[in-house]
Chain A
Amino acid sequence: MPDSKPIDEAALDRRLAEFRAARTVEQVRADASRTAGTAMGLGFRIGIELVVGVAIGTGGGWALDRWLGTAPWLMIVGLIVGFAAGLRNVFRSADTMGKKWDAAEQADAARNVAAGRESTNVAADREKGK
């Protein structure tokens, strides 16, 4: 490639800036959809946890009652313990998820600051190009 033509730097910078802006929009969209997917996943995760906790607790208590002839006390205890266990599992996953989201938000803020600096640099470059 011979360097016969002078490179139009201003046009190049403009195209670069346009490309970067488009990329940022894409990035934001991708992030948003990923967050939605994670939230849906979290919903699926913790929704069933309570149901299974109550069902297993109650069913286990009922089976023990039939075996030991203590109806209906162990079933009632099982219902309460199962509910508590399900709630505990829900709470635990919500807790870890909350910590992760906080960390992600902080990383996001840091990235935005970096991106902001970068975009001002592009603008400055463009000014220089003119």
Chain B
Amino acid sequence: MADPLHQFVITRTIPIEVAGIDLSFTNASAWMLIVTGLASTLLLAGLRKPQLVPTRTQSAVEMLYEVVDETIVSSAGPEARKFFPLIFTTFLFILFANLAGLLPYSFTVTSHIAVTFAMALIAFVGITLVGIFTQGFGFLRMFAPSGVPPIMYIILTPIEIVGYFIRPISLSVRLFANMMAGHVLLKVLAGFVVSLGVFGIFPLLVVVAMTALETLVAVLQAYVFTVLLCVYLNDALHAHH
């Protein structure tokens, strides 16, 4: 178990194969279900009996709502509120996946680029469609920045297009790399605790501090993902200048 990458191994819990395609229920699938269950439990428990003076659970849920709502309105404007359910769900899923990954013996769903890239790609395609449906051909004006001589479009348009298409990649790599790097570092340092014997107290202290930092990173990365969704949505909803 000294292998710091062992924590990312995907194991088949229930092997399923349909027409030669491996559709097994894995530990990743199980943890996605657990994470969704945890998030749903919090929301259902908090809003079961809504009161004017909220209980602790209810105000926790309300705070989550308000943070996401504030982010959407400040980054993408009030028109983006109609996408609130999707953005809120994404935020909660990533937040709970990141935080659940910090528990011992757990599996960090978001430390796999397959998961983060799938989420980023769905959002990217969806947001691009929103842009085309709201702005029509005007959406393509995004690739031709105004205020430059037309001859510059030869250089600037490819740059803008590449810049647009690397969005889902940077979005997914950021989340997956941060989660994976933090977990590998924790495991490597934890390995020193055992091998150094009495002096293992020093790496142990570092691991404790790192765990605190990783908790911050877990929350922050969920937030960053959400903010960027809103920023991209803003480009899709509002004409670019």
Contact = CB atoms under 8 A, between A and B. Distances in A.
A15 to B, nearest CB: 23
Given A41-B223, A44-B224, A45-B224, A89 B177 contact: no
Describe B's contact surface by its main secondary structure.
helix
Interface residue tally of chain B, by bracket?
Answer: 20 to 34
A41 B220 contact: yes
Contacts of B216: 40
A37 interface: yes
A4 to B, nearest CB: 30
Given A81-B159, A88-B159, A53 B166 contact: yes
B7 interface: no
B92 to A, nearest CB: 18
Determine which residue in A37, A82, A88, A96 has the highest number of CB atoms from chain B within 10 A of its CB, and name it.
Answer: A88
B231 A81 contact: no
Interface stretch (B26-34, B51-59, B103-111, B167-175): B167-175
A45 B228 contact: yes
A16 B159 CA distance: 58
Interface of B: 74, 158-160, 162-163, 165-167, 169-170, 173-174, 177-178, 216, 220-221, 223-224, 227-228, 231
Interface of A: 37, 40-41, 44-45, 48-49, 51-53, 56-57, 81-82, 84-86, 88-89, 93, 96, 100
Given A53-B166, A82-B166, 19 more contacts: A37-B220, A40-B216, A41-B224, A44-B220, A45-B224, A48-B170, A48-B173, A52-B166, A52-B173, A53-B163, A53-B170, A56-B169, A81-B162, A82-B162, A85-B162, A85-B166, A89-B167, A96-B231, A100-B74
